[in-house]
Structure 1
Amino acid sequence: MELRHLRYFVTVVEEQSITKAAEKLCIAQPPLSRQIQKLEEELGILLFERGSRPVKTTEAGQFFYQHAVQILTHTAQATSMAKRISSVNKVVRIGYVSSLLYALLPLIIFLFRQKNPDTEVELIECGTKDQIEALKLGKIDIGFGRLRISDPAIKRILMRKEKLLLAVHKNHFLAQYIEKGVYLSEITNELIFSYPASQKPNFSTLIQSIFTELGLVPKNMQEVREIHMALGLVASGEGICLIPESASEIGMRNLVYIPILDLEAYSPISMSVRNMDQSAYIPNILECVREVFEAEGIALLMNAD
């Protein structure tokens, strides 16, 4: 059995037509039909119901299809990762979530560039969830994100639990707690802006999960496109917003930031790499992480997760 036979079979299943599959594969229909028949003979089973229009798989064919997709996906991932690993001495692609640009990430990247002048660094903005697939496909080599997403192919290193702050207008009644702090249970009746309005899970999902963990249900949570829009609305007196501590550096006028007293109110900051990747750039950038955290006086966790 060859990989091309699996590709032929998967394409026929997904197109539900030998004719359409042949067009997509850029081969003639008769050879494609013969290859499918040959595959059935080799397996000793019928993969498709005879005479069905559109083409339908048998129960055994559907089972085989699911595994064929996995085989092709894993093969593509392994090929892409092998190519990336062989070329990382020239370019290291780093994926990041945008909010980390307000944290220590720029310092880490700058130090890495200074210490590794022969290595080209390419920064690619992408959400934590997208970073997992990008790592597996070899599109990036390192990911810096904020969410806990597990995948057996990815090693995730928790670096820090960054505190969350509550952003409010300076004239909001909650501004009186700027020194004392507030519990999330005290803000469930407020209009809370969350962000971003993008594919889940994201930072908005994290905020919702913190409320859920505490047994709280916000009565009015509104999702907006990104953090600047959320803070802009708060600065206009529209509502309130939860942000990572480092994002308070955005410096928008009329805003004050209140400590949140719940221990659960934090955003994890993690670095992700491919599980089997032994490339030299990984310990090199970890050393930069250690140096920057130490210089800034911030505790570094470095827990594998």
Structure 2
Amino acid sequence: MELRHLRYFVTVVEEQSISKAAEKLCIAQPPLSRQIQKLEEELDIQLFERGTRPVKVTEAGLFFYEHAVQILTHAAQASSMAKRIATVSHTVRIGYVGSLLYGLLPEIIYLFRQKNPEIHIELIECGTKDQIDALKQGKIDLGFGRLKISDPAIRRIVLRKERLKLAIHKNHHLNKFIDSGIYLSQIVDEPILLYPLSQKPNFSTFIQSIFTDLGLMPSKFSETREIQLAMGLVAAGEGICIVPESALDIGMKNLMYLPILDADAYSPISLAIRNMDHSNYIPKILGCIQEVFAAQNITPLMD
């Protein structure tokens, strides 16, 4: 059995027609019919109901179809990943979430460039969830994100846990807590601005999950496109916003940042790589992370 036989079979199932499948595959109809018949003989099962239009798959054929799709998908991913690994000595594509540019990520990338001038680096902004698919498809080689997303094909290395802050207007009535800090239970009735407006799960759903885990149900959530817009609206008195500590470097006027006292009020920063990837750029980027963190007196977790 060859992959092309699986591709022929899957196309016939999805097109529900031998003629349409043949046209899509750019082959003649009789050879396609023979290949399907040959596949049935090899498997010793009947894949399609005889004499039905549109073509109907049998129960056994449906089971085989589901697994054939998985095999073709895994084969395509393996091919793409192998090609990326073969060329990675020249180019490393790094995915990142935008908010990390306000933290130490630029310093890490800069140091990596200086230490490895032979490697060309491409930076690609994409959400943590999108990074998982991009890694499996070979579109990126490393992903810096904030969400706890698990996938058997991806290894996630937690680098640090960044504390969250509450951004408020300097004249907001909560400004009296600037020194003592505040618990999330104290802001459930406040208008809370979330970001971004991107495919979920994202940082917005992450913040909501923190409230849910604490048994809290804020009633005035609203979403904005990105962190800068959210903080601009806070500066305009439209509400309050929970942001990573590194967002303080954005330097928005008229804002104050309160410490959030809840133990779970942190954002994990992680590095995502392909699970079977042993390329030499990985220890190099981890070394740069450790060096930059050490300069800031931050102890990396590297879980």
TM-score, normalised relative to structure 2: 0.96
Aligned to 1:3: 3
Distance 1:140 1:255 in 2: 36
Aligned to 1:90: 90
Q: CA deviation at 1:161?
A: 0.5
Identity of matched residues, %: 73
Distance 1:172 1:56 in 2: 65
Where structure 2 has 5 or more consecutive residues not aligned to the other structure, the ranges are none
Partner-residue secondary structure (3-state), 2:45: coil
Q: CA deviation at 1:156?
A: 1.0
Matched, 1:194 2:194: yes
- The CA RMSD measured in Å over matched residues stands at 1.3
Q: Deviations over 1:108-146 (max 9, x none)?
A: 000000000111111111111111111112111111110
Where structure 1 has 5 or more consecutive residues not aligned to the other structure, the ranges are none
CA separation of 1:50 and 1:122: change in aligned 2, threshold 3 A: same
Aligned to 1:23: 23
CA separation of 1:227 and 1:51: change in aligned 2, threshold 3 A: farther
Aligned to 1:51: 51
Aligned AA (1:86): A
Aligned pairs (5 A) from 1:110-149: 110-149=110-149
Distance 1:60 1:176 in 2: 68
CA separation of 1:259 and 1:52: change in aligned 2, threshold 3 A: farther
Aligned to 2:215: 215
Aligned to 2:224: 224
Matched, 1:100 2:125: no
Distance 1:16 1:126 in 2: 37
Distance 1:34 1:173 in 2: 77
Q: CA deviation at 1:49?
A: 2.4
Distance 1:180 1:254 in 2: 20
Aligned AA (1:245): E
Aligned AA (2:9): F
Partner-residue secondary structure (3-state), 2:148: coil
Distance 1:211 1:89 in 2: 44
Partner-residue secondary structure (3-state), 1:75: helix
Distance 1:46 1:116 in 2: 57
Distance 1:161 1:71 in 2: 37
Partner-residue secondary structure (3-state), 1:241: strand
Q: CA deviation at 1:29?
A: 2.4
Aligned to 2:205: 205
Matched, 1:39 2:48: no
Aligned to 1:178: 178
Q: CA deviation at 1:94?
A: 0.7
Distance 1:194 1:230 in 2: 7
Q: CA deviation at 1:54?
A: 3.1
Aligned to 1:61: 61
Matched, 1:166 2:160: no
Distance 2:55 2:172 in 1: 63
Distance 2:207 2:51 in 1: 53
Distance 2:210 2:300 in 1: 22
Aligned AA (1:279): S
Distance 2:24 2:239 in 1: 52
Distance 1:44 1:201 in 2: 44
Q: CA deviation at 1:224?
A: 1.7
Aligned to 1:251: 251
Q: CA deviation at 1:22?
A: 2.1
TM-score, normalised relative to structure 1: 0.96
Q: CA deviation at 1:82?
A: 1.2
Partner-residue secondary structure (3-state), 2:35: helix
72-81 or 8-17: bigger deviation: 8-17
